[in-house]
Amino acid sequence: MRKRKQVLQAYNIVVIALLVIGVVYICVRFLHPGFNEWTDNAMVHRDLTPVNARVQGFVKEIRLQEFQYVHKGDTLVVLEDTELALQEQQAEASEQGAQSGEQAVSAGMTTTDRNVATANAGAAVAGSGEQIASAQTSAAGAAVQSSQASTDEMRVEMENAHKDFNRYEQLLAKGAVTQQQYDNARTAYESARSRYQNAVARRNQAVAQHNVARANQKAASARLAQANAQTLSTASIKTQQEHALTQSRAGVKAAHSGSELARLRRSYTVITAPCDGYVGRKNIYVGQLIQPGQFIINIVNTDHVWIIANYRETQLKNITVGAKATFQADAIPGVTFNGRVESISLATGAAYGNMPVDNSTGNFVKVEQRVPVRIELTKDNNPKEVAKLISGLNVETKVDY
């Protein structure tokens, strides 16, 4: 009987101990006495930078190991570049051909510029010659007019002297004048006739000179017209060559851009790390055909870490931006990290889903929603411990209020 009583007492002690342990566990796990909000629905986050291919090609080399640390610019994967190398050589040859064409057009432009200068000089000389010939023609015309006036004057003088001579000849026959007077009249007539003949000769010479001057002027005008035509022709050729040069330069730019593009595309066959960090899981193999935009690997960035804690909607009334927060990770026992609330999402976790909840059917069951809260680590944490926070780890967070 006594032994049975002892067993019963031991049983009661065990039950009471279990009840106490249960109450303590519930208080610690769920009630969290104090001015803070607690949740274990939280996770560590780091930037996962995806590395994607930019050109098509077969994998030639893989220079990474899963989970190894890489620096920005380190070569991760090398693709076959034979085809792209040939395209680059073709583009470079096209660029060289375009440059040669531009140089040829430029050389032609130099020759044309000299021809234009020569034509302009010839036109200037021809213009001066035409002006001189025109002045000579005008002077010859004035000389013709002057000699014609002199000739007319000499003709009138000769006709008057001839009339006097005829009158004296008749008077001499009648004995009305002396022989001396008659001889004087004849001498005056012959002298006037000689002067008239000289005037006619000078006029004829002036007319001949005028005709020569007019012919010279016509020739000078023809040379001027020819020089002007040559100037227009060379100017037209220059304009055409300027257009050709513009097109050649545009062709050179296009060829240069094509060459740069081919060179750039070939450089994409060497896939490098975009940032410092740890390489994720490897899902590619040597010989595999990679397509543009295809995912290669993730790099976990080590520069930044934060926590996303999903608090119940009933807890939000005590959570504010800037509030102090602490959290612990199961993977790092005994270490408490400090942080602060950076931001609170304006949508619940369910609202971010691909199929948002629709309660319009009438079969409604109220489910408490959770709201993502972003917690940033403060600078007073141990960097060595922070480095142990792996993206995806579960943590327990507390936000003070």
Residue extents of the structural domains in the chain: 35-80+275-356+363-400, 85-266
Task: Give the DSSP H or E segment for 284.
Answer: none
Residue 292 has pLDDT above 70, yes or no: yes
> Residue 389 and residue 392: Cα distance in Å, rounded?
9
Per-residue model confidence (pLDDT) at position 116? 80
pLDDT at 361 exceeding the cut of 80: no
Burial pattern 48-79, b for ≥16 Cβ within 10 A else e, equals ebebebbbbbebeebebeeeeebeeeeebbbb
- In this structure, the dihedral spanned by the alpha carbons of residues 247, 252, 256 and 262, taken in order and rounded to 10 degrees, is 80
Could you tell me what percent of the chain has a pLDDT over 90? 44
pLDDT band at 346 (very low <50, low <70, confident <90, very high): very high
Residue 29 confidence (pLDDT) above 60? no
Distance, CA of 127 to CA of 305 (rounded, Å): 87
Query: What integer pLDDT is reported at residue 25 of this predicted model?
Result: 62
Mean pLDDT along residues 362-373:
82
The pLDDT score that the predictor gives to residue 229 is 87
Half-sphere exposure of 228 (CA within 13 A, CB side): 9
Mean pLDDT of 283-307: 94
Q: Which CATH number fits domain 85-266: 1.10.287.950, 1.10.540.10, 1.10.10.10, 2.40.50.140?
A: 1.10.287.950
Is the model's pLDDT at 167 over the cut of 60?
A: yes
* Residue 245 half-sphere exposure toward CB, CA atoms < 13 A: 15
Query: What is the band of 24 on the pLDDT scale with cuts at 50, 70, 90?
Result: low
Least confident of 191-205, 301-315, 359-373, 382-396: 359-373
What average pLDDT does the segment 238-243 reach? Answer: 84
Q: Say how far apart CA 386 and CA 377 lie, in whole Å.
A: 9
Mean pLDDT, range 81-105, rounded to an integer: 90
- Would you state the pLDDT for residue 21? 78
CB atoms within 10 A of CB 277: 21
* Residue 231 phi, psi (nearest 5): -65, -45
Q: Are 165 and 185 in contact (CB under 8 A)?
A: yes
Asked if pLDDT for residue 20 goes beyond 90, the answer is no
What is the pairing mode between strands 324-329 and 336-344? antiparallel
**Could you tell me how many residues make up the chain?**
401
Residue 92: both structure tokens together: 């470079």
Pairing of strands 324-329, 394-400: antiparallel
Note the CATH number of domain 35-80+275-356+363-400: 2.40.30.170
Token digits of residue 180: 């001396």
Cα–Cα dist 44/100, whole Å: 61
Q: What is the mean pLDDT of residues 189-204?
A: 87
11: tokens are 């049983």
Lowest-pLDDT range of 5-9, 138-142, 158-162: 5-9
This prediction's pTM: 0.62
pLDDT band, very low/low/confident/very high, at 113 (cuts 50, 70, 90):
confident
- Residue 153, pLDDT score: 87
* Average pLDDT score over residue span 190-207: 87
Contacts for 39 with CB less than 8 Å, ≥ 6 apart: 309, 310, 311, 312, 315, 396, 397
Q: Residues 264-276: what's their mean pLDDT?
A: 95
d(CA 107, CA 374): 69
Q: Hey, which residues does 164 pair with through a beta bridge?
A: none
Residue 45 host element (H or E) = strand 36-52
Residue 138, pLDDT score: 86
* Domain 85-266 in the same topology as domain 35-80+275-356+363-400: no
- Identity at 355, one-letter amino acid code: M
Residue whose entry in the numeric block shows the structure tokens 């889903």? 353
Is the separation of the CB atoms in 375 and 341 below 8 Å? Answer: yes
Confidence of residue 360 (pLDDT cuts 50, 70, 90): low
pLDDT value at position 189? Answer: 86
Please check whether residue 311 is in contact with residue 370, taking contact to mean a CB–CB distance below 8 angstroms. Answer: yes
Asked if 292 and 357 count as a contact pair (C-beta separation under 8 A), the reply is no
Please, what is the Cα angle at 57 between 85 and 61, to 5 degrees? Answer: 90
Strand arrangement of the beta sheet that strand 57-62 belongs to? 270-272, 75-79, 57-62, 289-290
